[in-house]
Structure 1
Amino acid sequence: MEPFTERVVEIIKGIPTGKVMTYGQIATLAGSPRGARQVVRILHTLSKKYKLPWHRVVNIKGEISINDCESHNVQRMFLENEGIKFNEHNSIDLNEFQFKYLTKIIKNTS
């Protein structure tokens, strides 16, 4: 697996229940600020294999990006079951529900 892909998988696995992250946020944290579409591809191909909480990833507007009606409704249901609320414009308030991923700094003391 490529290093970027590994980092994306790790970041997505770290999104806690009741929080979301955006495709671009994940791409930036994984080292490729312009790699949001790569994050989409990784979610599409690896979610099942790595049991990723794919439903916790939304677009920059706090909206579900899936066009398929059934899949869109499934994602929304999963998010609502975790306590995430949608406003009248069908988007999530990122100020309230966006996860601010912090990387752990490990110091080599040897």
Structure 2
Amino acid sequence: MPVIQVTAPSAGPDRDAARLTALCRAVAGELGLPGSGVVAALAPVSVTVTGETPVAAWPLAVVHGSPRPAAAMDAALRALGRAMAEEWGVPQGEVWTEWSAGRLVPVTGEARG
């Protein structure tokens, strides 16, 4: 199950939930999963700087999940980026997405990757 970790400004619980739902749907749609097959969590950010200058936050998302075919991961990340740009009202060039498929070590069970 892919997990989307989002770092972006918060708009309050209801709006944040709607945004995260949209992101789950976008990624699930590209991966052929049901909407409930993707989880998203928001880590709200209040300040972003570039060097020493405060700037508007760039929404950032990391998808944690098992490796999939490159085309599938690319399509999911593009859909995620478009959804993030729309939901946070920023240009697509100001959104950053990444797929992390490193070594997964659950608290119980076997390590994977």
Structure with higher helix content: 1
Structure with higher strand content: 2
Q: Assess same fold via TM > 0.5.
A: no
